[in-house]
Structure 1
Amino acid sequence: MAADANSRRITGRVQGKDITLVGPLSKDEIRNKVWWWQAPTAETPEERQHRRHEYDHDQRDVIATLGGYYTVPGDPRSPEADELVDMVHTELSPDRQ
């Protein structure tokens, strides 16, 4: 997991899945990609529940930015999640502020 200032790329490991955020992205796009497991999908509720149980909750969900590693909160609507989305948005889209 690494962040590269030249490519405007941020990586992470969330719910056991490697994710890559390549900017520029809107705040909604960032939120959907980071909290992908909570996004509505074509899966049935039972399939989503089964997938959630497959994840090892002892692992931390993290995003790696130029500023370091940040824990991904479980609730995408929390103040901590808002701060993470704002920080990632700024890093991926510095010219769109």
Structure 2
Amino acid sequence: MHHPCFIGDSVIGCRVNIGSFCSTTALRCDRGPLTEPASEEITVNLDGQRITTGQTKFGAIVGDEVALPAGTVLAPGTLIGPGTVVYPRDHVGGFLPAGSRIR
């Protein structure tokens, strides 16, 4: 990253292009006010199944050679496969298979 960003509680692959002001959100914020320490476990939806992570803070897993445009926010538990290109948008979440083009 050569720009202001926050990529926390995440795993980032090789040769990933992260645009300025990208961030990962590692805490659930869809069930009311946030409290620390976090108590809501982050789950990942994969092929229609909910998989528990065992973590209360979990950003994203971003595969090799992914391009994220400026200002992208990744939801907790986002999985992005290698070679995926995300076109400009404000929020990305869920599972994006390898080689996807997300508009």
Normalising by structure 1, we get a TM-score of 0.28
Higher helix share: 1
Higher fraction of strand: 2
TM-score scaled by length of structure 2: 0.27
